Chains A and B, each alone.
Chain A
Amino acid sequence: MEPILELIDIKTYFSVRKGLFKTLTVKAVDGISMTISRGEVVAVVGESGSGKTTLGRTAIKLIEPTSGKIVFKGSDITNIKGDIKWIRKEAQIIFQDPFSSLNPYMTIKQILEEPLIIHGVEDVSEREEIILRALNNVRLSPPEDFILKFPHMLSGGQRQRVCIARALVLNPSFIVADEPVSMIDASSRAEILLLFRELQEKYSIGMMYITHDIATAKYFSHNISVMYLGKIVEYGPTKEVLKNPFHPYTATLINAIPDPDPENRFRERSIVPGEPPSPINPPTGCRFHPRCPQIIDGKCSLSEPISREVDLKHFVACHLY
């Protein structure tokens, strides 16, 4: 498969002003490499503060990386400034909150038309046709019922479908989906995910699926990368990683999510103590070591583990391996 997006050692730091003179550096993304091919879905799983959202924004240049290299469709886009329009056409993003990601003052038609106008689809009837097809694609039918509505007239699920339609009208080859279902009711989550998956396969789109919910990643992604404090701690085929997690952090993430079972209440869940430290001052060595149940004394806190292929295409950054 041809790679559509390559991230090579991406670092994205932010400066935070503290007080009058002090500035602190938040290392949101701290040296991440990743390749996503056409038609491939890579899930990026992590908790809040892991830098997964920043990574997604950086990948499509909504945020400029501090260092590293972004290769999109074979060309290095790391430093281009002016001619960014073709990237905006080829790469799309879908946001977590379907309530705030649509302009409340615009009709569905205006919302879906905007990318077409920006990217020079001048013929009105052609635009109309594309919009109706997009609405049909996301099963908002009959589309005529929806085009004149305002976002507040739609349910959360319907809004998120409009967001998907907006991302698809320009026929992108790559989409960043940032927690697209976390604010949608559990009963319609699966519906949106299945629709998403179907469209992604139909148009063979490469996708970065960002989520905190490792369970949805299971159904949606080919590969999974687990992020902790700006670093990828484990990467591999989704099934493989879920069945056989190598990194202790991945294991705790999986254990933290129960299946509904009446027996659950008679057992304590295995947990990692504490909470993720701040990315302003990440721990030395392995960033997970202060919480790790399997810490190796004198090693984990001193040297940073490098990622190695432990199993076939299954990488882990941990001193245990």
Chain B
Amino acid sequence: MLLEVSNLRLYFKTLRGDVKAVDGVSFSLDKGKTLGIVGESGCGKSSTANAIVRNLPRNVSRYEGRICLEDMDLIPLSEDEFRSKIRWRRISMVFQGAMNSLNPVLKVGFQVAEPLIIHKGLSRGEALKIVEELFRLVGLSSEIVNRYPHELSGGMKQRAIIAMALTLNPDILILDEPTSALDVSIQAQIMNLLKNLKRKLGISMIFITHDIALASDICDEFGVMYAGELVELGSAEKILPSPKHPYTQKLLSSIPRLHSDKTPEFIPGAPPDLVAPPSGCRFHPRCPYVMDKCSRENPPNTLVNGGFVKCWLYK
């Protein structure tokens, strides 16, 4: 087991009260595998990723649980330890919209090389050599090193950002909506690249997206998040054809399918407010199978098909 997250909680303080962005999330990740975390916007999937790499804003009111990387609990580490030992060295992340955060006045190669210069103390020349190699790995020609961000297309920038995440040979790569700003044809190119990296480097990934179809391109396992909680976890082979949780079922059937004739459905209502989520099961106000119990008690995780589902239907 490479990474084990248990009972992770991340709350943000706001004037209306605590936003329970991540509320008791547990999952594990094996070496070389890819876990997809999917859900609607505002379900806490990005916050989960940020909690793992400890990229936290200032208004955090609660940050607890266990994040074990090969038996080392990351939560108790000090900020300095975390930065020097874990972030980017062991776990790196491609942030949402990172391709637009490249500094427009610095050459791309230098920006990608920066972690090598900072963390490994390499000289600029050595670092750039490694970057050239990485660029070849992500399908960029080595002359791109000397270009400025505005000279690159969106797809090229995203490749550079992925190269940057790989500079220190991390064990785990977290990708937060890595293709959402790209055109569909470029999206497919990036997905092929990620598949290649997964195969060649044997790297573990956490892939965060709202698009299950896209995630099915690379993910071995799926975690479905709803209102700050992981409601279902299981292998792609189990979840995609036969989802158990009503929310997962609905989410899958809302995808318009090009290659089959199903009419997409939708989930009525809107996701709940994370300051005051509904009592009991958080999905119960929108659930078609709601029972009396659902609004009273929060369902436990029930083991099903090698994964778990958080629903009273399976208890």
Contacts and interface: CB of A to CB of B under 8 A. Distances in A.
B237 A262 contact: yes
A255 B188 contact: yes
A258 B236 contact: no
Contacts of B256: 189-190, 213, 215-216, 218-219
Contact of B260 (A252, A255, A259): A259
B268 interface: yes
Interface string B207-251: 000111111111110000000000000011100110000000011
A24 to B, nearest CB: 16
Interface in A39-79: 47-48
B295 interface: no
Interface string A169-181: 0000000000000
Contacts of B186: 275
Contacts of B268: 191
Interface in B184-214: 184-189, 191-192, 195, 210-214
Contacts of A32: none
Interface in B156-199: 156, 183-189, 191-192, 195
Interface in A90-114: none
Contacts of A36: none
Given A190-B254, A265-B220, A185 B41 contact: yes
A190 B216 CA distance: 20
B205 to A, nearest CB: 11
Interface string A150-193: 00000101100000000000000000000000000111111101
Contact residues on B (Cβ < 8 Å of other chain), bracket: 35 or more
A259 B258 contact: yes
A253 interface: yes
Given A190-B266, A215-B257, A257-B258, A262 B185 contact: no
B258 A215 contact: yes
Given A189-B254, A262-B237, A265-B195, A47 B184 contact: yes
A44 B186 CA distance: 19
Contacts of A121: none
A271 B265 contact: no
A271 to B, nearest CB: 5
Given A47-B185, A191-B268, A219 B251 contact: no
A191 B237 CA distance: 28
Given A264-B217, A269-B191, A272-B185, A186 B270 contact: no
Contacts of B216: 258-262, 264-265
A269 B192 contact: yes
A242 B185 contact: no
Interface string B265-284: 11110110000000000000
Interface residues of A, number: 42
A123 interface: no
A212 B189 CA distance: 16
Contacts of B195: 265, 268
Contacts of A305: none
A158 B268 CA distance: 12
A136 B102 CA distance: 46
Contacts of A213: 184, 256
Interface SS majority for chain B: loop
B35 interface: no
A275 B156 CA distance: 9
A252 B258 CA distance: 13
Contacts of B184: 47, 212-214, 253, 256-257
Nearest to A183: B41
A33 B166 CA distance: 48
A194 interface: yes
B265 A260 contact: no
B264 interface: yes
Interface in B39-95: 40-41
Contacts of A193: 264
A190 B257 CA distance: 11
> Which of B183, B185, B250, B265 has most A Cβ within 10 Å?
B185
A87 interface: no
Contacts of A256: 184-185, 187-188
Contact of A271 (B156, B188, B257): B188
Contacts of A282: none
Contacts of B192: 268-269, 271
Given A215-B258, A219-B264, A252-B185, A186 B240 contact: no
Given A256-B187, A259-B216, 15 more contacts: A185-B40, A190-B265, A193-B264, A213-B184, A214-B184, A218-B258, A219-B263, A256-B184, A258-B217, A260-B212, A260-B240, A262-B240, A264-B216, A272-B185, A275-B156
27 contacts: A157-B270, A158-B270, A185-B210, A186-B255, A187-B40, A187-B251, A188-B266, A190-B266, A212-B184, A215-B257, A252-B188, A253-B185, A257-B213, A260-B212, A260-B215, A260-B255, A262-B216, A262-B237, A265-B219, A269-B188, A269-B191, A275-B153, A275-B154, A275-B155, A275-B156, A275-B183, A275-B186
A-B complex: 3 closest residue pairs judged by Cβ atoms: A191-B266, A262-B236, A47-B183
Interface of B: 40-41, 153-156, 183-189, 191-192, 195, 210-220, 235-237, 240-241, 250-252, 254-260, 263-268, 270-271
